[in-house]
C-alpha cells in the first residue's frame, strides 16, 4: 500500500512499511524512511507507483478550471475529495482527488486552507483583487526581464537611470528596478556599479558623488523654506573696542573678530568677539530646528551648503562697518610678559572696522613685516592701515600661547606640510558641474594670520570651557586623553583635558553660525554671563540633559559624513587637475606600506614597486589611469630620488592625517540575496499575490 501525505507544506508519496493508530512508517522512492503522523495522511492507494501517482495528479490538476471549481465549492468548509466528486463525478478516482488537492493548494487566491486537506473558498471581491495583483506581478516580471536584457546589452532604461542613486545606496529591494540591476549583474558577471557605468547610467562622475551625498544626507534638498531672522531685543552696550575679522574671501559666515586696546600702556586688553545668534533665538525655535537638522556647514571646493539660510546669517555675521551683537571674551594681559591677569565675558555690540581677507594679505602680513618695525613694503593695502601694531602684538601673543601649549602637549605641532586651496575658474559660488577648470594653490600651515586667529580661538574655547565647568553649567566639550597612537578626540559633556591641543578644557564656541555645537555652547555661555553662579539654573541645557547627548551623537555622525565628502571632492578635483594639466609623473614620499603622498599635490595613492624602500623615501611615480567615479588612481615607482628624507617622527605624525585614498564604493546592492521571485526561483506568484493583494 502507498500513502500520499503532507510534510512541511509539501506533498510526498511512498510505500507504507508499517502502520499504527497514530502514525505510519513510510519509505520514499529515495530509500529514506520517515515517520508520518496520522493527521498528515491524505490518500491511500494501491497503484500506480508513488512517483507515477504524483505525476498523474499534477497533470490532472492543470485540467481543472478554477472558476468552475469555485462555483461547485460549498460556502462552508470542505475537503478536497468532496470537491473532486462534485467536479469530476460521484466516483472520482484517487488520481482525480489528488489532482483536485494539488489544484486547490496552488490557488490560494480562490481557496484558502482550513486544515490538512481542507479548504474554504475565498470571497469574490478578494479573488478579483488577487487576480489583479497576479496580472500586475506578471507585467512587472515581463518589464523587469526587458530591463535586464537592455542592461546586459549596455543600455540603461530611463526608469533605472531615474532611480540610480536609490538603487545603489538606499534601495527598495522589492522594486523591479533594483531586481533588474541584480539580475543583469548576475547575467553579465559584472559588479552592479561597473554594469551601470558601462550602460551609461552615470552621466557625470561629479554628479554621481554629489547626488549620492545629497541622497544620504539631504534627501529633501539643500534649500531652505522662507524664514525671518528675529531681531536681538536686548539693549546691548556698545564696546569701545574696534574689531576686525580675518577670513578668506569666500567666507560669508563671519563668526569671529579680534580687538586690541591699551597698547603702549603696559596692560593690554585683548577682545575675542563672537557673532551672537544665541541672543536672537532659543532652542526649539524654527531657526534652531534648521541648525539642528544640518548641524554644520558643508564645505567643498567651489561650493558650500550653509547650516543656516544666508538671509539669517547676514543678520548676525560680523560685517565690516556695522555695530554687531557679540559675545565677547576680554583677556587682560601684561604687555611685556604676556601673562594673563584676568578674563571677563560681555554681551555687547562691537564695531567691526574691517573684514580682512588672508588670501589677499598673506603676502603682506609676513613674519618679517610683523617682527621688524623697520621693514617696509612698497605700500601697505588700505585695510592694514593702522593695524600693524595690533597685528604685531597679536602675533607675538599667538607664538607665546602656542609655545605654552606645546610645553603641555609635550612636543611641537607639526606644520611641515602646506594647506591646499582649490579654485574653480568662473564658478563664482554656483553649484559646480564637474567640468570647470581647477586651480590648486598652496598655503603654508601656521601662516601668521592663521596663527593669530587659531590661537585666539583656542584661548576663547578653552577659557569658556573651563568657566562653564566652574559654574556647573554643562557644555559640549572636545577632549583627548593622550597623544598615544590610536587615542582619538572625543566629544562629551564633561570638561576634560585635550592632550593634542595642550589645554585643560576645550569647548567649541567660536563658530555659532557654522557649527551647531558652538551655538549650543553659546546659549550656555550667555546664561553664564547673565546669571553668574546661578547660571546652571537658568541655562537652556541642564546637567545630564539627554538632549545634549543626542546633539553630540547627531553632530558626530554628520560632521564625519561632511568631512568625508569634502575630502572626496578635494580628491575629485585633484584628479581633475592632474588630467587638465596632463600630469603623468609626480614626486612623492613613501609614508606607509605601498602608499605615497605627492609632494606638491593633495594626493595619496597606492603604488607598485616600493618593496624594500624605507618609509620617508622620496620617489618618482608614474600615474596610471584615473577613475573619477571610484576616485581611484594607482602608480608605479620608476625612480628613487636621492634627496633628504623625512624623520621617522614626522612620518608617524602624518600617518593619520588626510588619508583620503580611494577604495571600493560601498553600495547597498546585495548580490548574495536569492534571485528575484519572478525571474528564477520558481516560487508561487499566486501565493504571493494572495498574501499581498493589490490595493
In the numeric block, the cell 549596455 is attached to 154
Closest by Cα among 601, 582, 581, 599 to 590: 599
Whole-number pLDDT of residue 446: 79
Whole-number pLDDT of residue 661: 53
688, pLDDT greater than 70: no
136, pLDDT greater than 80: yes
Closest by Cα among 528, 532, 555, 558 to 540: 528
Average pLDDT over residues 217-242: 89
Instruction: Give the pLDDT band (50/70/90) at residue 364.
Output: confident
Whole-number pLDDT of residue 429: 76
- pLDDT, one tens digit per residue, over 165-194 is 888 888 888 889 999 999 999 889 988 888
Whole-number pLDDT of residue 362: 84
Buried/exposed code over 560-584 (b: 16+ C-beta within 10 A; e: otherwise): ebbeebbbbbbbbbbbbbbeeeeee
Q: What percent of the chain has pLDDT above 70?
A: 91
Write the CB contacts of 189 (distance below 8 Å, at least 6 apart in sequence): none
Whole-number pLDDT of residue 394: 95
Residue 330: which H helix or E strand, with range? strand 323-334
| DSSP letter for each residue of 25-73 | EEE-TTS-EEEEEGGGEEEEE-SS-HHHHHHHHHHHHTTS-HHHHHHHS
Cα dist from 8 to 32, 386, 549, whole Å: 16, 91, 50
659, pLDDT greater than 60: no
Instruction: Give the pLDDT band (50/70/90) at residue 685.
Output: very low
538, pLDDT greater than 80: yes
Whole-number pLDDT of residue 427: 81
Three-state secondary structure call for residue 260: strand
Instruction: Give the pLDDT band (50/70/90) at residue 507.
Output: very high
Question: Is the C-alpha dihedral spanning 38, 44, 46, 48 positive or negative?
Answer: negative
Write the CB contacts of 425 (distance below 8 Å, at least 6 apart in sequence): 436, 437, 438, 439
Closest by Cα among 444, 452, 439, 438 to 419: 444
Instruction: Give the pLDDT band (50/70/90) at residue 82.
Output: very high
As a whole number, the mean pLDDT across the chain is: 87
Q: What is the CA radius of gyration of the chain?
A: 37
Whole-number pLDDT of residue 695: 33
- What span, in angstroms and rounded, lies between the C-alpha atoms of 693 and 685? 11
9, pLDDT greater than 80: no
Whole-number pLDDT of residue 686: 34
Q: What percent of the chain has pLDDT above 90?
A: 59
Write the CB contacts of 229 (distance below 8 Å, at least 6 apart in sequence): 280, 287, 311, 312, 315, 316
Whole-number pLDDT of residue 385: 67
Average pLDDT over residues 16-31: 91
Q: Do strands 267-275 and 41-45 pair parallel, antiparallel, or not at all (unpaired)?
A: unpaired
For every residue of 377-433, which 3-state class applies, written as one string?
A: CCCCCHHHCCCHHHHHHHHHHHHHHHHHHHHHHCCCCCCCCEEEEEEECCCCCCCCC
Instruction: Give the pLDDT band (50/70/90) at residue 650.
Output: very low
Whole-number pLDDT of residue 485: 85
Whole-number pLDDT of residue 667: 66
- pLDDT, one tens digit per residue, over 232-259 is 888 999 999 999 999 988 888 999 999 9
Whole-number pLDDT of residue 641: 87
Whole-number pLDDT of residue 383: 67
> What 8-state DSSP symbol labels residue 106?
T
Dump strand ranges (E) for 282-322: 298-300, 303-305
681, pLDDT greater than 60: no
682, pLDDT greater than 50: no
306, pLDDT greater than 50: yes
678, pLDDT greater than 60: no
Whole-number pLDDT of residue 660: 52
Write the CB contacts of 436 (distance below 8 Å, at least 6 apart in sequence): 302, 424, 425, 426, 427
609 neighbors 616 (Cβ within 8 angstroms): no
* Residue 15 Rama label (left phi>0; alpha psi -120 to 50; beta): beta
Residue 310: which H helix or E strand, with range? helix 310-316
322, pLDDT greater than 70: yes
Instruction: Give the pLDDT band (50/70/90) at residue 648.
Output: very low
- pLDDT, one tens digit per residue, over 587-596 is 999 988 889 9
- What span, in angstroms and rounded, lies between the C-alpha atoms of 446 and 450? 6
Amino acid at each position: 500500500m502507498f500513502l500520499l501525505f503532507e510534510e512541511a507544506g509539501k506533498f510526498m508519496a511512498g510505500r507504507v512499511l508499517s502502520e499504527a493508530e497514530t502514525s505510519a512508517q513510510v519509505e520514499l522512492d529515495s530509500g529514506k524512511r520517515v515517520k508520518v503522523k496520522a493527521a498528515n495522511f491524505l490518500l491511500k492507494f494501491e497503484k500506480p507507483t508513488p512517483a507515477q501517482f504524483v505525476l498523474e495528479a499534477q497533470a490532472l490538476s492543470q485540467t481543472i478550471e478554477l472558476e468552475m471549481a469555485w462555483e461547485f465549492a460549498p460556502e462552508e468548509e470542505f475537503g478536497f475529495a468532496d470537491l473532486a466528486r462534485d467536479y469530476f463525478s460521484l466516483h472520482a478516482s484517487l488520481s482525480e482527488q489528488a489532482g483536485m488537492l494539488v489544484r486547490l493548494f496552488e490557488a490560494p487566491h480562490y481557496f484558502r486552507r482550513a486544515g490538512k486537506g481542507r479548504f474554504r473558498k475565498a470571497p469574490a471581491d478578494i479573488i478579483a483583487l488577487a487576480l489583479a495583483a497576479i496580472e500586475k506581478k506578471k507585467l512587472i516580471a515581463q518589464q523587469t526581464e526587458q530591463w535586464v536584457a537592455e542592461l546586459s546589452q549596455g543600455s540603461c532604461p530611463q526608469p533605472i537611470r531615474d532611480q540610480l542613486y536609490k538603487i545603489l545606496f538606499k534601495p527598495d529591494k522589492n522594486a523591479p528596478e533594483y531586481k533588474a540591476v541584480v539580475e543583469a549583474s548576475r547575467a553579465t558577471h559584472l559588479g552592479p556599479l561597473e554594469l551601470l557605468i558601462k550602460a551609461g547610467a552615470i552621466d557625470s562622475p561629479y554628479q554621481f558623488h554629489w547626488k549620492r551625498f545629497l541622497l544620504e544626507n539631504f534627501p529633501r534638498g539643500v534649500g531652505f523654506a522662507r524664514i525671518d531672522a528675529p531681531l536681538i531685543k536686548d539693549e546691548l552696550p556698545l564696546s569701545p573696542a574696534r574689531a576686525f575679522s580675518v577670513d578668506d574671501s569666500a567666507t560669508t559666515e563671519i563668526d569671529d573678530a579680534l580687538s586690541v586696546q591699551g597698547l603702549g600702556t603696559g596692560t593690554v586688553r585683548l577682545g575675542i568677539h563672537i557673532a551672537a545668534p544665541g541672543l536672537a533665538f532659543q532652542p526649539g525655535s524654527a531657526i534652531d530646528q534648521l541648525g539642528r537638522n544640518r548641524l554644520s556647514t558643508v564645505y567643498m571646493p567651489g561650493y558650500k551648503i550653509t547650516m543656516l539660510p544666508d538671509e539669517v546669517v547676514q543678520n548676525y555675521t560680523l560685517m565690516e562697518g556695522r555695530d554687531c551683537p557679540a559675545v565677547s571674551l576680554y583677556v587682560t594681559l601684561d604687555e611685556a610678559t604676556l601673562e594673563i591677569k584676568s578674563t571677563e565675558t560681555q554681551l555687547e555690540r562691537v564695531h567691526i572696522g574691517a573684514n580682512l581677507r588672508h588670501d589677499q594679505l598673506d603676502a603682506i602680513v609676513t613674519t618679517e613685516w610683523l617682527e621688524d618695525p623697520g621693514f617696509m613694503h612698497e605700500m601697505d593695502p588700505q585695510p592694514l592701515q593702522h593695524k600693524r601694531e595690533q597685528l604685531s602684538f597679536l602675533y607675538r601673543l599667538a607664538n607665546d600661547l602656542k609655545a605654552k601649549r606645546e610645553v603641555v602637549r609635550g612636543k611641537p605641532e607639526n606644520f611641515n606640510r602646506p594647506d591646499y586651496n582649490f579654485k574653480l575658474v568662473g564658478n563664482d559660488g554656483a553649484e559646480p558641474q564637474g567640468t570647470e577648470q581647477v586651480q590648486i594653490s598652496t598655503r603654508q600651515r601656521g601662516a601668521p594670520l592663521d596663527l593669530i586667529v587659531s590661537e585666539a580661538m583656542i584661548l576663547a574655547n578653552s577659557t569658556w570651557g573651563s568657566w562653564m565647568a566652574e559654574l556647573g553649567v554643562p557644555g559640549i566639550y572636545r577632549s583627548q586623553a593622550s597623544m598615544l597612537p590610536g587615542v582619538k578626540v572625543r566629544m562629551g559633556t564633561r570638561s576634560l583635558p585635550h592632550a593634542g591641543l595642550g589645554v585643560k578644557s576645550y569647548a567649541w564656541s567660536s563658530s555659532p553660525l557654522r557649527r551647531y555645537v558652538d551655538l549650543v555652547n553659546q546659549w550656555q555661555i550667555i546664561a553664564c554671563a547673565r546669571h553668574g553662579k546661578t547660571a546652571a539654573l537658568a541655562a537652556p541645557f541642564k546637567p545630564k540633559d539627554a538632549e545634549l547627548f543626542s546633539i553630540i551623537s547627531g553632530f558626530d555622525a554628520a560632521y564625519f559624513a561632511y568631512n568625508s565628502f569634502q575630502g572626496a571632492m578635494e580628491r575629485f578635483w585633484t584628479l581633475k587637475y592632474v588630467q587638465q594639466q596632463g600630469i603623468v609623473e609626480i614626486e612623492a614620499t613613501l609614508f606607509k606600506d605601498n602608499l605615497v603622498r605627492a609632494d606638491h599635490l593633495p594626493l595619496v595613492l597606492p603604488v607598485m614597486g616600493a618593496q624594500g624602500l624605507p618609509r620617508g623615501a622620496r620617489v618618482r611615480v608614474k600615474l596610471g589611469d584615473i577613475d573619477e567615479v571610484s576616485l581611484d588612481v594607482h602608480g608605479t615607482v620608476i625612480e628613487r630620488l636621492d634627496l633628504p628624507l623625512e624623520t621617522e617622527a614626522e612620518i608617524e605624525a602624518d600617518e593619520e592625517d588626510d588619508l583620503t585614498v580611494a577604495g571600493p564604493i560601498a553600495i547597498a546592492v546585495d548580490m548574495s540575496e536569492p534571485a528575484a521571485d519572478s525571474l528564477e526561483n520558481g516560487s508561487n506568484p499566486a501565493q504571493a499575490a494572495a498574501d499581498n493583494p493589490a490595493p
